[in-house]
């Protein structure tokens, strides 16, 4: 009897502390916008989530695999590509918050090979003209794409079998190759979108923590948020239910693609290395956990705090670039100036995207695996989002949890 009472008490405590999920909006704005494209076969399948202060519209429409008629689901893994950059940004922000790193530290403080950099000014008859860089390369620059590095290093060429984002080289080797290669311009004077710079940031994390970047990410971000389906090496079981790649065709059904040059099969063998610029596999359910943490200013929906409020506000939700250079913070697209209508987040090469507004507690998530040909449904999805966020939502029954922070 005593054991039964203990079990009942434990069950009661769990019930009292468990946090309910968001309230269903009962709206179908995204479904209505996307249905014609799915019916025609032009869109194989997609996931859309609109969230506003505790109320959520979730749309899973079409197929993860058209040939098998396998419906697309929130727990299907997919390649998020450049959305990985935001995860690196969070690990850098944590170290800044802990006083272990300053964004204006020279990169060479942690990676001495970056002490001397050379800028390529031209090339004639296969002879490169180089000059020594004058500006000091900082941590801030490599995380906001103003460091002068190319999109990828030579070891990650997509036209070579085994290359691409996850192939080619481990993070520390990527950084070493980047340091030994000419950069494109004087650090801090321009912006060029660069996976290489983000990988350099991850290499700095490795030096400071003494851990592989991916292990530090798992320990400090993925595990605390309960992101059990997010990793650089998806299991064979996960891959059997992955969202397949489809190339969009004009006025015709989408065509299945086996792989992309920059993300080559097999996806989980020994040729795969962690990459902070692009490389994480995830699910829509897990993506929501990460981006709701950002929306909630550092607190996950499970109540676990990853970052302080001010860290998110000052380092992630607003640009860290010089004025007039466009908005980008640390691995995240962000406005140059923060205001109540400002969104921040990131997209990925296969068409995925997620952004949040922390002021209004709003979120937009979009999942698709698009292998080229464009996304002709984008305007319709944007209009669906406008309808959702402009409506008066019924919030009855929502308790103090619902994504709010004190």
In a domain, 402, yes or no: no
What is the pLDDT of the chain when averaged over all its residues?
92
Report the CATH number at residue 161: 3.40.710.10
pLDDT at 170 over 80: yes
Q: pLDDT band for position 10 (50/70/90)?
A: very low
| 161: nearest Cα among 278, 78, 259 | 259
Q: Output the pLDDT for position 322.
A: 96
Q: pLDDT band for position 7 (50/70/90)?
A: very low
In a domain, 288, yes or no: yes
Task: Tell me how far apart the alpha carbons of residues 356 and 51 are, in angstroms, rounded to a whole number.
Answer: 9
In a domain, 10, yes or no: no
Backbone angles phi, psi at 109, to 5 degrees: -60, -30
Q: Output the pLDDT for position 38.
A: 98
In a domain, 232, yes or no: yes
In a domain, 358, yes or no: yes
pLDDT, one tens digit per residue, over 211-246 is 999 999 999 999 999 999 999 999 999 999 999 999
Tokens of 289: 């956990």
| 358: nearest Cα among 397, 322, 307 | 307
Cβ atoms within 10 Å of 288's Cβ, excluding its own:
23
pLDDT at 305 over 60: yes
Q: Output the pLDDT for position 397.
A: 76
In a domain, 257, yes or no: yes
Cβ atoms within 10 Å of 58's Cβ, excluding its own:
18
Q: Output the pLDDT for position 189.
A: 97
pLDDT at 127 over 90: no
Backbone angles phi, psi at 319, to 5 degrees: -60, 145
Q: How many domains does the chain have?
A: 1
pLDDT, one tens digit per residue, over 16-66 is 444 568 999 999 999 999 999 999 999 999 999 999 999 999 999 999 999
> Which range of residues forms the domain containing residue 364?
21-390
- What share of the chain in percent tops pLDDT 90? 82
Tokens of 253: 């059904």
Task: Tell me how far apart the alpha carbons of residues 52 and 14 are, in angstroms, rounded to a whole number.
Answer: 27
Nearby residues of 21 by Cβ (< 8 Å), 6 or more positions away: 56
pLDDT, one tens digit per residue, over 75-112 is 999 999 999 999 999 999 999 999 999 999 999 999 99
């Amino acid at each position: 009897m005593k054991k039964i009472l203990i079990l009942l008490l434990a069950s009661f405590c769990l019930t009292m502390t468990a946090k309910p999920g968001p309230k269903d909006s009962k709206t179908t704005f995204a479904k209505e916008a996307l249905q014609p494209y799915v019916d025609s076969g032009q869109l194989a399948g997609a996931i859309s989530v609109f969230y506003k202060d505790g109320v959520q519209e979730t749309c899973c429409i079409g197929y993860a695999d058209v040939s098998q008629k396998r419906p697309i689901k929130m727990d299907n893994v997919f390649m998020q590509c450049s959305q990985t950059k935001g995860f690196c940004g969070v690990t850098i922000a944590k170290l800044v918050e802990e006083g272990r790193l300053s964004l204006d530290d020279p990169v060479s403080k942690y990676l001495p090979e970056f002490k001397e950099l050379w800028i390529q000014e031209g090339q004639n008859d296969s002879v490169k003209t180089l000059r020594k860089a004058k500006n000091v390369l900082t941590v801030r620059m490599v995380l906001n794409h103003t460091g002068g590095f190319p999109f990828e290093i030579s070891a990650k060429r997509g036209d070579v079998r085994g290359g691409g984002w996850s192939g080619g080289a481990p993070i520390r080797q990527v950084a070493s190759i980047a340091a030994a290669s000419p950069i494109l311009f004087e650090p801090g004077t321009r912006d060029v979108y660069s996976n290489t710079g983000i990988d350099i940031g991850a290499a700095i994390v490795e030096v400071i923590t003494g851990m592989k970047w991916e292990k530090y990410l798992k320990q400090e971000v993925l595990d605390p948020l309960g992101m059990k389906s997010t990793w650089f090496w998806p299991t064979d079981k996960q891959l059997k239910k992955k969202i397949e790649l489809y190339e969009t065709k004009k006025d015709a059904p989408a065509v299945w693609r086996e792989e992309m040059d920059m993300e080559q099969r097999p996806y989980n063998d020994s040729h795969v290395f962690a990459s902070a610029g692009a490389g994480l596999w995830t699910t829509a359910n897990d993506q929501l956990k990460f981006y709701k943490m950002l929306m909630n200013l550092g607190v996950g929906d499970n109540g676990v705090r990853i970052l302080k409020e001010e860290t998110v506000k000052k380092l992630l939700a607003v640009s860290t670039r010089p004025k007039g250079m466009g908005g980008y913070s640390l691995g995240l697209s962000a406005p140059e100036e923060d205001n109540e209508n400002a969104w921040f987040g990131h997209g990925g090469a296969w068409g995925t995207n997620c952004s949040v507004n922390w002021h209004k507690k709003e979120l937009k998530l979009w999942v698709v695996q698009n292998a080229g040909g464009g996304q002709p449904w984008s305007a319709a999805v944007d209009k669906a989002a406008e309808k959702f966020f402009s409506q008066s939502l019924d919030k009855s029954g929502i308790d103090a949890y619902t994504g709010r922070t004190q």
